[in-house]
Amino acid sequence: MSEQRVLIVGGRIENVRKAKEQGLGVVYLQQPGQFTPEHASLVDAALLVDYTDWTVTEPLVAAAHRAYGFTSVVTTTEAGVEPAGRISDLLNLGGVSHEVAHLLRDKLSMRRHLAAAAPTVSVAAEEVGDRESLTAFGARHGYPFIVKPVDGIGSLGLQLVESDDQLDEVWETITRLRHSDHQFARFFPLERFLMEEYISGQELSVEAFTFEGRHVVVAVTEKLTYDNFVELGHVVPARIGPADEEAVVACVTEFLDAVGVGSGPSHTEVRLSERGPRVIESHNRPGGDRIRDLVEEATGFDIERYTVAWPGGDLPALGDRPAVRQAAATRFLAAEPGRVTAVEGVDGVLALDGVVDVDLPVEPGSVVQPIRSSWDRLGQVIAVAPDADAAVALCEKACAAIRVATTPDPAE
């Protein structure tokens, strides 16, 4: 094994590849069903358990540390941030602590913390108790407001409450979701919900990397969303003016200081409200939806590589924000709900100048669900162009050229 070793918690195979390319030894902590022959050929050791169960993970990781002596722990996945924080604390590895990781995962705790530490970047929020708590929040803070899971992901369970006429329906939805067994319920249970003020305005995300307490924003990403807030696309760089971008960067820098992120990647979602930028939520990991790939295409900065290899010491710290050399965009593909009967046009789209990738795992026989969360999207197109408008237009052209035909599924 390499002299420098990293423990990687979950994540895609590229995590392991990039760590190995940087000369690091890899100990891999992963769910058993996610381990492949390629992983086996790359890693020096593997711990295949439900790493979200700390009673199982703690003794295994402690023993693995004695045997392999890894010097850092990293993750690029939401389910891995709290386990990685616990491991860092247990073994004194110097990464983001479990306290900070939990503060970011638990949106209610984050709101309460910001109310004291950085009120100018946050909004009012309270936990949903009984049905009457919804009425009380609306009376205190007005409409519309947002109801969402305390530790959810992918917009699952997020509701916009526009008037008190909706409250019975909102409460029924909360009650139903609390007893649902969705596909990722083990990692993201829908048990607790919070209410928070609705923030109007353009939605953005800020991709940053923190070097020993110094935050470097590497990109500002513009979000395109469906009416139910599920993302339908992203583009880097965001199409905003210099003054707005400066305000967004200052907002996120203040936020990261307030919550205590001292190292590694972060993905912070904000809205440009009439009162200035306000934080929606944040994560101490690279952004999902392949935003990390958009950032690399647009700026050349590989935030995934830095996540797994920066603690090893071989990569240089960024002095300044990387320059944008081209725009990069992604757009998610959609089809009518039902069972897939045909997929057409992918090869032609891949041949278009500027199209980087088409990720479309569905095939005849697959089931297309209504878009209720990020997990219901079919796949995505990634494209590059000289500017953001052209990159978005190319993605839209590519999506229009791909046809996913479906037929109603009587079993659904």
Give 158's pLDDT tier (boundaries 50, 70, 90): confident
Q: pLDDT at position 154, please? A: 57
Which domain-ending residue is among 167, 197, 227?
197
Whether residue 176 contacts residue 149, with contact meaning beta carbons closer than 8 Å, is answered with: no
pLDDT band at 263 (very low <50, low <70, confident <90, very high): very high
pLDDT of residue 182: 53
363 near 357, Cβ under 8 Å?
A: no
- Answer yes or no: do 348 and 333 share one domain: yes
pLDDT of residue 115: 92
Question: How sure is the predictor about 184, in pLDDT bands with cuts at 50, 70 and 90?
Answer: low
Q: Tell me what pLDDT residue 2 has.
A: 47
Is 272 domain-assigned?
yes
Final residue of a structural domain among 58, 76, 95 = 95
Is the residue at 225 inside a domain? Answer: yes
Question: What's the confidence (pLDDT) of residue 1?
Answer: 41
Q: What's the rounded Cα separation, in Å, for the pair 65 and 149?
A: 35
Lowest mean pLDDT segment, chosen from 61-75, 153-167, 342-356: 153-167
CATH code of the domain covering residue 335: 3.30.470.20
Q: Does one domain contain both 311 and 394?
A: no
Cα of 268 vs its chain's centroid, Å: 9
321 and 344 co-located in one domain: no
Same domain, 152 and 233: no
In a domain, 352, yes or no: yes
Q: Is residue 104 part of a domain?
A: no
149-163 mean pLDDT:
80
Q: Do 320 and 333 fall into the same domain?
A: no
Q: What is the pLDDT of residue 402?
A: 95
Asked whether residue 266 falls in the same domain as residue 192, the answer is no
Chain segment 295-315, per-residue pLDDT in tens = 999 999 999 999 999 998 789
Quote the CA–CA distance of 259 and 241 in Å, as a whole number. Answer: 27
392 and 369, same domain (yes or no): yes
CATH number for the domain that contains residue 87: 3.40.50.20
Does residue 227 register a pLDDT over 90? no
The pLDDT-based confidence of 190 (bands split at 50, 70, 90) is confident
Is 107 domain-assigned? no
Q: Please report whether residue 116 resides in a domain.
A: no
Do you find a cis peptide bond into 364, omega within 30 degrees of 0?
Answer: no
Question: Which residue in 155, 141, 231, 152 sits closest to 195, CA to CA?
Answer: 141
pLDDT digits (tens, 9 = 90+) for 277-291: 999 999 999 999 999
Residue type for position 336? E
pLDDT in tens, 371-409: 877 778 889 999 999 999 999 999 999 999 999 999 987
Q: pTM (2 decimals)? A: 0.90
pLDDT confidence bin for 185, thresholds 50/70/90: low
Same domain, 210 and 170: no
pLDDT recorded at residue 157? 78
Distances (CA, A) of 200 to 111, 120, 197, 221: 18, 16, 10, 17
Alpha-carbon span 206 to 269, nearest angstrom: 6
Question: Into how many domains does the chain fold?
Answer: 4
Residue 84 pLDDT level (bands cut at 50, 70, 90) = very high
Please give the average per-residue pLDDT across 316-345, as a whole number. Answer: 94
> Residues 264, 354: one domain?
no
Instruction: State percent of the chain over pLDDT 70.
Output: 94
- Reported as a pLDDT band with limits 50, 70 and 90, residue 228 is low
How do 5-9 and 72-75 pair as beta strands?
A: parallel
Domain span at 347? 328-407
CB contact burial 300-322 (16+ within 10 A = b; e otherwise): ebbbbbbbbbbbbeeeeebeeeb
Residue 111 lies in a domain: no
- For the chain, give the mean pLDDT: 92
Q: Over 80: is that where the pLDDT of 10 sits?
A: yes
Tell me the CATH number at 165: 3.30.1490.20
Q: Which of 290, 325, 360 is the last residue of a domain?
A: 325
Sign of the torsion angle spanned by Cα atoms 227, 228, 232, 234: positive
Average pLDDT over residues 128-150: 94
Pick 73 or 274 by higher pLDDT. Answer: 73
H or E stretch covering 117: helix 107-117
188, 285: one domain: no
> Distance from first CA to last CA of the chain, Å, rounded?
50
Is the Cβ–Cβ distance between 326 and 401 less than 8 Å? Answer: no
Task: Examine residue 158 and state whether it is found in any structural domain, yes or no.
Answer: yes
Sheet with 45-48, edge to edge strand ranges: 45-48, 25-30, 5-9, 72-75
Residue with tokens 């878009």: 371
Q: Are residues 296 and 210 in the same domain?
A: yes
Same domain as 289, residue 207: yes
Top-confidence residue, 80 or 312: 80
pLDDT tens track for 230-256: 778 999 999 999 999 999 999 999 999
